[in-house]
Chains A and B, each alone.
Chain A
C-alpha cells in the first residue's frame, strides 16, 4: 500500500483501468481452475474479455447483444458446474438483465460472476445511458449476492481471482478510465475485509468508500491534514457482506463518517454504512455520491466537479460532518 496522498496528480504514479485488472485476473483464475469460462455480449475489447479469449478460446462464449440471455445462459453454465464470468457494461449487466439475475442467479444461488464494466459517471463522454449509478443498489438488495468494487487495477485482479473461488453469486464492479494504482501485489485482499488506506493519529472523521473515486479521498485527506483535520480513509471494497467489525471499530473511534462512491446515494455503499450505523452506533454521516440525478457527457474532472465527487466535495463533506458531531 502506498502512503502518498496527492496521487491523482503525481505524474509518475502508475495508472490503469480497473477493467484491466479484471482482464488479467480472469486469465489467472482460468489457469488455476479449468471450470472458469467467460461469457461476452459483443464487448470483448472494452470489457477485456478478449484477453481471456486469446488464452482460452474454447472457454470463451459469445452471446451477441443479448444481456438477458447472457445472465440466464451463465446460470446454466453454473448449474452444470462451471464458474462463469458474465461480462458487459454495468448499465446492461446488471441493468437490463436484473430479473434474470434475481431469479436464475441469486434465488437459484449459483456462482455466476456478474462483471459490470464502465460503471459510474467516469465513463465520461458516453453520457447518462452508459453511466450506471444504481447497480450497487440493485445487486446489494439481492439475498445470496456478494458485491465488490475494487479501488484499482491491482485490487481488481485480486478481487477477480477471489471471486472465482468464493462459490457464490458475485457482482464485480469495474470502471473505464485509467486511475491511480494505490495498492501493490503484497496488499492483502480478502472478500468482506476492508482496510485503512491511510490513517491520521486519533482521526476525527472516517472516510469510507469504494472504487477508484476513493483516491480522491486520499487527496482530500492530505489537504485536510494540512489544515489540522484528522481523518482515516477506509477502502470498503466489499459492499456486501459489509465489514461490520471494521466499521464498528472505526465508528467507536471517530466522530462521524463520510461515505464516498461513484453511485447514487440511494442504495449504495453509503446506504449500507448508514443502515449499519443507525442500528449499532448512530452518528453523523455525510454522503459523497450522486444525488438523484442522471449523469451526462463530459470529462471525468468536469463530471466529478458537477456531481460533487471530487476532493473538494469530500473536504466539504468532512467539514459538515465535523460541524454536526
Chain B
C-alpha cells in the first residue's frame, strides 16, 4: 500500500500552498526576512507537520514527540507558518513575525515559543544539537525520532562535519537530517562560493545512509523519511533538491531573493502566483 493516497498528496500540496501564502503575507507585513529559502522548503514543512512528525500542537512539550530541529534558523518563517496552520498558535499571531514583543523572533528562540526545540540562526550547530538529543534519547530508550533541517550553504561550516563524524561514529539511527539543496547562498551559487559536491559522497564517507530526493514531491519526501526508519545501523541524510522561491515563478532560482522580503505590491502578485489552484483537493475545493 502506498504511503500516500492521491487524496493525501493533494491535501499536503494544499497545505504547502497555504504555508507559502501565509509566509509571503508574514514577510510582507514584517518588512524584512528571507523569502526564497522558506518558499523552497514549504513542501517539506507541509509533509513534516501534516504527515511525518508524531507531534501534538496542543501539547508542544509532550515528552514523546518527534523533535524537529531547524539549524538554518533564517528560514524560520516557513516553520512558523506551518506551526500556525497546524494549530500551535493562531494565524493572526503569525503576522507578528519580527515585531517587538513577538514570540516569533527574526531567528527562532526556543524559550519564547514552545515547539521550536532549539534557538538557531548562526549556521552550523543544529546538527550537533540534533545529534545530542538523539544520543540522549537513545540512552533512555525513547522511541521518538530526531529530524534536523539544514541549508546547503551551512555545509561549509566545520561544525557540521564535527557533528557528522559524531553521528556516524555513534550510529545514531534515530536521527534524520534533511539538507535543503537549493544551490544558493548569500554571495551566489554554492558551487561558485565554496563547492560542496560531491555532497552525498561526503556523508557516505562519514558513515551516513544517504538519499536524494526531489524536495517538492510529496511522495518522495514521505517515502524518504519513512525509509530512514528502517535503517538500523546509521543516521540518514536526505539531500532534498529544491527550487529557491518555489511556487512564485517570478523569483524562482534567483539568489537575490535569499535575504529580502516582498513589498506589499510584490506580495499581492506573489500570492496570485502561489494560489494556482493546482493543489485543489478533490471534493474539497470542487
Chain A residues near B (Cβ < 8 Å): 37, 58-59, 61, 63-64, 66, 68-69, 71-82, 84, 99-100, 103-104, 107-109
Contacts and interface: CB of A to CB of B under 8 A. Distances in A.
Interface in B64-123: 109-111, 117-122
B132 A74 contact: yes
19 contacts: A64-B162, A66-B165, A68-B125, A73-B166, A75-B132, A76-B129, A76-B130, A76-B131, A76-B132, A76-B135, A77-B133, A77-B135, A77-B136, A80-B133, A80-B137, A81-B136, A103-B120, A103-B122, A104-B118
A68 B165 contact: no
**Which of B109, B134, B136, B163 counts the most chain A CB atoms within 10 A?**
B136
A72 B136 contact: no
B284 to A, nearest CB: 38
Contacts of B126: 72
Nearest to B148: A76
A81 to B, nearest CB: 7
Nearest to B136: A80
B109 A77 contact: no
B132 A77 contact: yes
A103 B72 CA distance: 13
A68 to B, nearest CB: 4
Contacts of B163: 69, 72-73
A108 B133 CA distance: 14
Interface of B: 109-111, 117-122, 124-126, 128-137, 139, 158-159, 162-163, 165-166
Decide if the interface of chain B is mainly helix, strand, loop or mixed.
helix
A73 B121 contact: no
A108 B132 CA distance: 15
Contacts of A63: 162, 166
Contacts of B125: 68, 71-72, 75, 99-100, 103-104
Given A72-B132, A77-B132, A80-B133, A103 B165 contact: no
A98 to B, nearest CB: 11
Contact of A68 (B120, B130, B158): B158
B131 A108 contact: no
B223 to A, nearest CB: 27
Given A66-B166, A104-B119, A61 B135 contact: yes
A-B interface, 10 closest residue pairs, ranked by CB to CB distance from nearest: A76-B132, A72-B128, A69-B162, A66-B162, A76-B129, A80-B136, A73-B132, A72-B125, A108-B119, A68-B159
